[in-house]
Structure 1
Amino acid sequence: MNPLHLCGDAPDVPDLRGERIQTFAHGLAGHPLFSDESLERLLDDYPRSHLHVTTMGRCFAEGGWRTGEVVGLRGSEILRAVRDGHLWLNIKYLHAVPEYAALTNALYEEIASRTGRRPPGWKATTLLVSSPGAFVHYHADSVPNILWHLRGSKRVMVYPVRAPFAEPESLESICAGAKDEALAYDAAFEADAQCVDLHPGQAVMWPQHSPHRVENRAGLNVSLSTEHMTPEVRRRVDVLRSNRVLRRLHLGPRSARSDGFGAYCKVGLALLDRVLQRVRHRAPIHYRIPATFRVDPNSPTGFHDLP
């Protein structure tokens, strides 16, 4: 099966430089790697440290995002808890599993062959398995990702990459690994949001650093999220990382442009910042939020609170 098929109203292959919203069709819906049986087998033996499970309020306005843990459950029990409860499960580092790594590589190789560009040197894959009605809060990522939707239906809301939707200081800290991806949200932002509804066999990619949030509409939702790094993507990350350095030196960066002589100077400054971080033995920040619940397939919510 050819993994990527372009639909009639989306004549272009995704541009991995991450400069605009792009939707396209793919041929992964119904792939055996994403059946219940395959997901259960994957979850049976998957390292629990690589499973990131969360719950949240019943609607976006409630918030209430919390982290949980998976203990002593078989894959079938985890999947049942997600299907019947109110959970969002990220199966991280899926690119370390040979079958899924091969699929990810095939997708990017096909994109490269159709665009005439080299495939990205760095790729990462996460499988998202989530309940009907679950959602992801307003946030931005440092690198672009493609959301390949496989099962259920979901809605993605994408916002402009500028203040007040994303303050420069916040994006700079995200790119430097100095904070998590969460951004301050205001309901007034909805007037400028672009809405993308996804069904199985559809995919979306939005501009790098775009604030976004995700809402599940119906059914057990399964999506493949792939991240990648191209020279253009790396340069944008480096520019914002360097702007953070300049800001801390009270030099007041004025531009986030990733082209021109100034941008390449900032790439050098970002490299120096990384070297100094290593020399000072400052490890990248890992955000570990204490678990407040445990996945429980026998609970209507799919979990029970920890004492």
Structure 2
Amino acid sequence: MTIFSEAARTEFSALYPEVPGRLHHGLHDHDLLTLPALADLSERLDPARVEYNLGDLPVGIAAEDVPANGLSIGDTIRNIDGANSWAVLKNVESDPAYARLLHDLLGELEGDIVPKTGAMKKLQAYIFISSPRSMTPYHFDPEHNILLQLRGTKTMRVYPPGDPRFAPQEAHESYHRGGNRNLVWQDGFSDGGMDVTLEPGQAIYVPVMAPHYVRNGPEPSISLSITWRSAWSVAEANAHAFNGTLRKLGMRPKPPGRFPASNRGKALAWGVARRLGM
């Protein structure tokens, strides 16, 4: 079964790698993506691959301030309609059946990806299960990402990648040296992003490190996020990490270039710095 039609691939190719935007998909009623199947999956995953908490959160909240919901992950998912919670199952490709699903999906897009950003690396999948009106706070992610909406609706507000107004260089440097993905929210950001509302059968492509937050609609939501790294994105990440080293030495380094800049020099320098323990 083909999930991304020829028209959907054309949509994706026009966006990739730097422009966020809506796509369409044909992933409907898959046996692996029902609530009972996901609750069972959550209970056999390594606990380190499960994150869940109360869903009624402010847009900007520090990771250490996010409250627990008092339930087990299985009970959270089985009762998501009334649990007022948000849950993510990480690296579900560790399960063979979900690994096959991920590779089938990204295999359909490989021909539109590799010529632009190089070989696909570190293919991963995440599943988000959210109560009505729950919130995923303002953050960024290091991967190329397609979020496929499967049940319910949600609205993502996504901001331009690489714009220091919405994610300062220091935040990138901190993240790529082991810091948290959550970003500091400012009320002045309210009008700077683009809202994309997703219904089942729709998806959004989110570029590497594009700041965003997500608000769920009035019904429980299930979304599948399929992600990958590329030669380009790995080099950009390493360049940010090396800039963090330079900043610690009192310098004011120039930000890495966004695509199609290669950032090769700083990426190689970070490899040397790591070997030296810097």
Deviation at 1:266, TM superposition (A): 0.2
Other structure's SS at 2:190 match? helix
Question: Hey, what does 2:77 align to over in structure 1?
Answer: 79
Which 5+ residue runs of structure 1 have no aligned equivalent? Answer: 281-307
Deviation at 1:16, TM superposition (A): 9.0
When residues 16 and 228 of structure 1 are mapped into structure 2, their CA distance, relative to the original with a 3 A threshold, is farther
Out of 227-236 and 50-59, give the one that drifted further: 50-59
Other structure's SS at 1:205 match? strand
User: Are the aligned partners of 1:140 and 1:182 in contact in 2 as well (CA < 8 Å)?
Assistant: yes
Deviation at 1:149, TM superposition (A): 1.2
Deviation at 1:7, TM superposition (A): 4.7
The answer on 1:227 being equivalent to 2:223 is no
Question: Hey, what does 2:23 align to over in structure 1?
Answer: 24
Question: Hey, what does 2:94 align to over in structure 1?
Answer: 96
The one-letter code of the counterpart of 1:53 is Y
User: Are the aligned partners of 1:29 and 1:151 in contact in 2 as well (CA < 8 Å)?
Assistant: no
**So what's the TM-score if we normalise by structure 1?**
0.79
Deviation at 1:79, TM superposition (A): 2.2
User: Are the aligned partners of 1:25 and 1:202 in contact in 2 as well (CA < 8 Å)?
Assistant: yes
When residues 276 and 219 of structure 1 are mapped into structure 2, their CA distance, relative to the original with a 3 A threshold, is farther
Output one character per residue of 1:23-56: Cα deviation in whole Å (capped at 9) or x when no partner.
2111112212112332233234333342211114
When residues 259 and 269 of structure 1 are mapped into structure 2, their CA distance, relative to the original with a 3 A threshold, is farther
What is the 5 A alignment of 1:1-307?
1-7=1-7, 11-14=10-13, 18-57=17-56, 60=59, 65-67=66-68, 71=72, 75=74, 77-114=75-112, 117=115, 120-160=120-160, 161-177=162-178, 179-258=179-258, 263-277=263-277
User: Are the aligned partners of 2:130 and 2:221 in contact in 1 as well (CA < 8 Å)?
Assistant: yes
User: Are the aligned partners of 2:60 and 2:183 in contact in 1 as well (CA < 8 Å)?
Assistant: no
User: Are the aligned partners of 2:156 and 2:214 in contact in 1 as well (CA < 8 Å)?
Assistant: yes
When residues 12 and 65 of structure 1 are mapped into structure 2, their CA distance, relative to the original with a 3 A threshold, is same
Other structure's SS at 1:84 match? coil
Question: Hey, what does 1:293 align to over in structure 2?
Answer: none
Out of 49-58 and 115-124, give the one that drifted further: 115-124
Output one character per residue of 1:44-92: Cα deviation in whole Å (capped at 9) or x when no partner.
4333342211114466489963245654x7x4x3323322121011111
Which 5+ residue runs of structure 2 have no aligned equivalent? Answer: none
Task: Return the alpha-carbon distance in structure 2 between the equivalents of residues 237 and 51 of structure 1.
Answer: 25
Output one character per residue of 1:144-163: Cα deviation in whole Å (capped at 9) or x when no partner.
22211111100000113323
User: Are the aligned partners of 2:91 and 2:125 in contact in 1 as well (CA < 8 Å)?
Assistant: yes
Task: Return the alpha-carbon distance in structure 2 between the equivalents of residues 151 and 256 of structure 1.
Answer: 38
Q: CA RMSD in A?
A: 2.8
Output one character per residue of 1:215-245: Cα deviation in whole Å (capped at 9) or x when no partner.
0012111111122111111121112111111
The one-letter code of the counterpart of 2:53 is T
The one-letter code of the counterpart of 1:196 is V
Deviation at 1:5, TM superposition (A): 2.5
The one-letter code of the counterpart of 1:191 is D
Number of aligned residue pairs: give it. Answer: 273
When residues 249 and 115 of structure 1 are mapped into structure 2, their CA distance, relative to the original with a 3 A threshold, is closer
User: Are the aligned partners of 1:53 and 1:69 in contact in 2 as well (CA < 8 Å)?
Assistant: no
User: Are the aligned partners of 2:236 and 2:262 in contact in 1 as well (CA < 8 Å)?
Assistant: no
Out of 37-46 and 120-129, give the one that drifted further: 37-46
Query: Identity, % of aligned pairs?
Result: 24
Task: Return the alpha-carbon distance in structure 2 between the equivalents of residues 188 and 203 of structure 1.
Answer: 27
User: Are the aligned partners of 1:17 and 1:230 in contact in 2 as well (CA < 8 Å)?
Assistant: no
The one-letter code of the counterpart of 2:166 is F
